């Protein structure tokens, strides 16, 4: 028996509702593969912020540093500004645990309608997003606050090591798939950082000669993803472009409500974090109607990361089975998926 110690951070809103079905699936599939899971739950959330003045305790990161992985529900609640909830919990975890890969598998699931005429079941690709530098930067600020000539400046910071490692991850992933890669750029408009990105992509291409790569400007790329999604396999982008592309791609696949994300530290120096892409959904929270498939799919990604690809594949197959072969579409889906697994 292998035991994994998992930090659970349900967070806010439906985050609290979707983690129990996910851990139930983990326990069930674990039993078939000789795996057990020990869960430590942390109440870090907007509620905690409102009661205690901080999203997590000062030593929060130390408390989860030695877990094998982190499973997160959702973060954010009306009344708590995003810069507090996100920059007080989600983003510090990503950054301090050097989770520099944000991995978003996109799949058209059977039975889940895509808004695109062209998207067919089986359509599948993956967005690899840089997750700790780039456009999401605390460098910058305001100048002449409140005056008519006020301005805000925001620095994007791209480093050679930071870009190289995400590119190497993406190119290596491409070698295990169809051997093709698309880089998102905007070097015709963003004059300093994006040409640098392009240069490093070309160098990475030389390091991975078996991968056939090309680049597209982000404006053209979002258009082509809508017009012809099947042409893509691995798409790599900066923090901001990867964020935009992964949500767009999930929408194109009809799966925005069930899509998973992995925040990976590939070197395993720190724990990686897995989270459904959906938010805390204040409008439906507390009513038990949230779809747990995003959390379950995220748990499957976690299994894969922990070295159990067969168990992970079983969970995804069970999800596809439930979606394709049963009419179940709401909260009770959690129970059904359990059984199917």
DSSP strand pairing (140-143 vs 2-11): unpaired
Q: What are phi and psi of 340, to 5 degrees?
A: -60, -40
Residue 157: count other Cβ atoms within 10 Å of its Cβ: 14
The partner in contact with residue 289, picked from ligand IPM, a second copy, none with C-beta cut-offs of 5 to 8 angstroms by kind, is none
Task: Clarify whether 321 is annotated catalytic.
Answer: no
Query: At its nearest, how many Å lie between ligand IPM and the CB of residue 325?
Result: 31
Q: Is 100 a catalytic residue?
A: no
Active site residue 186: yes
| Cα–Cα nearest to 69, from 297, 272, 311 | 272
State the nearest-atom distance from the C-beta of 218 to ligand IPM, in Å. Answer: 9
Find where tokens 């597209």 sit.
216
Q: Could you confirm whether 247 is annotated as catalytic? A: yes
**Mask of contacts with a second copy, 67-96, x by CB under 8 A?**
---------x-----xx--xx---------
Binding to a second copy by CB under 8 A, coded x per residue (else -) over 196-235, reads xx--------------------xxx-xxx-xx--------
Which run of H or of E encompasses 18? Answer: helix 15-33
The distance of closest approach from Cβ of residue 223 to ligand IPM in the complex, given in angstroms and rounded to an integer, is 10
Q: Is 136 a catalytic residue?
A: yes
Which residue among 12, 68, 98, 243 is the active-site one? 243
Minimal CA–CA distance to 4: which of 302, 215, 313? 302
Quote the least distance from Cβ 220 to a second copy, whole Å: 6
Binding partner selected for residue 40 from ligand IPM, a second copy, none, CB under the kind-specific 5 to 8 Å limit? none
- Of a second copy, ligand IPM, none, which one sits near residue 213, judging by CB under 5 to 8 A according to partner kind? none
Q: Which does 284 bind (CB under 5 to 8 A by kind): ligand IPM, a second copy, none?
A: none
**Between residue 120 and residue 159, which ones bind a second copy under the rule CB under 8 A?**
135-138, 140-142, 147-159
Nearer to a second copy, 137 or 175 (CB): 137
Task: Report yes or no: 97 and 61 within 8 Å, Cβ to Cβ.
Answer: yes
Distance, CA of 1 to CA of 4 (rounded, Å): 10
272 binds a second copy (CB under 8 A): no
Q: How far is CA 219 from CA 154, 222, 313, in A?
A: 21, 6, 34
Name the DSSP letter for residue 77.
B
Six-digit token pair at 92?
């510090």
Answer yes or no whether residue 284 interacts with a second copy by CB under 8 A: no
Q: Which residues bind ligand IPM (CB under 6 A)?
A: 86, 188-189, 219, 243
**Cβ–Cβ under 8 Å, residues 243 and 135:** no
* CB 17, CB 289: distance < 8 Å: no
Distance CA(316)–CA(314), nearest Å, equals 5
- Going by C-alpha positions, the residue among 47, 1, 8, 14 that lies closest to residue 285 is 14
In angstroms, give the least distance from the CB of 187 to ligand IPM.
9
As a whole number of angstroms, the distance between CA 125 and CA 26 comes to 25
Binding site for a second copy (CB under 8 A): 76, 82-83, 86-87, 115-118, 135-138, 140-142, 147-161, 186-197, 218-220, 222-224, 226-227, 239-240, 243-244, 246-248, 250-252, 256
Catalytically active residues are 136, 186, 219, 243, 247
């Amino acid at each position: 028996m292998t035991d994994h110690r998992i930090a659970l951070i349900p967070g806010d809103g439906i985050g609290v509702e979707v983690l129990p079905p996910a851990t139930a699936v983990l326990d069930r599939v674990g039993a078939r593969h000789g795996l057990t899971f020990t869960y430590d739950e942390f109440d870090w959330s907007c509620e905690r912020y409102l009661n205690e003045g901080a999203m997590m305790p000062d030593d929060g990161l130390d408390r989860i540093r030695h877990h094998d992985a982190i499973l997160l529900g959702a973060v954010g609640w009306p009344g708590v500004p995003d810069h507090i909830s996100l920059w007080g919990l989600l983003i510090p975890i990503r950054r301090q645990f050097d989770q520099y890969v944000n991995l978003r598998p996109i799949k058209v699931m059977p039975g889940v309608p895509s808004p695109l005429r062209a998207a067919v079941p089986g359509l599948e690709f993956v967005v690899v997003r840089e997750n700790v530098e780039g456009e999401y930067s605390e460098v910058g600020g305001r100048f002449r606050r409140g005056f008519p000539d006020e301005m805000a400046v925001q620095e994007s910071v791209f480093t050679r090591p930071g870009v190289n490692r995400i590119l190497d991850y993406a190119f290596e992933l491409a070698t295990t798939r169809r051997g093709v890669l698309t880089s998102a750029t905007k070097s015709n408009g963003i004059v300093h950082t994006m040409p640098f990105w392009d240069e490093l992509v070309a160098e990475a291409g030389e390091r991975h000669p078996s991968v056939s790569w090309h680049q597209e400007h982000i404006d053209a790329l979002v258009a082509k993803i809508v017009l012809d999604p099947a042409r893509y396999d691995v798409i790599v982008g900066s923090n901001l472009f990867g964020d935009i592309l992964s949500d767009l791609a999930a929408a194109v696949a009809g799966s925005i409500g069930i899509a998973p994300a992995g925040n990976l530290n590939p070197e395993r120096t720190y724990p990686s974090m897995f989270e459904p892409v959906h938010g805390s959904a204040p409008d439906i929270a507390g009513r038990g109607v949230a779809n747990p498939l995003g959390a379950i799919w995220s748990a499957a990604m976690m299994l894969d990361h922990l070295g159990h690809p067969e168990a992970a594949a079983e969970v995804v197959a069970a999800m596809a089975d439930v979606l394709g072969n049963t009419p179940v579409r709401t909260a009770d889906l959690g129970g059904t998926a359990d059984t199917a697994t």
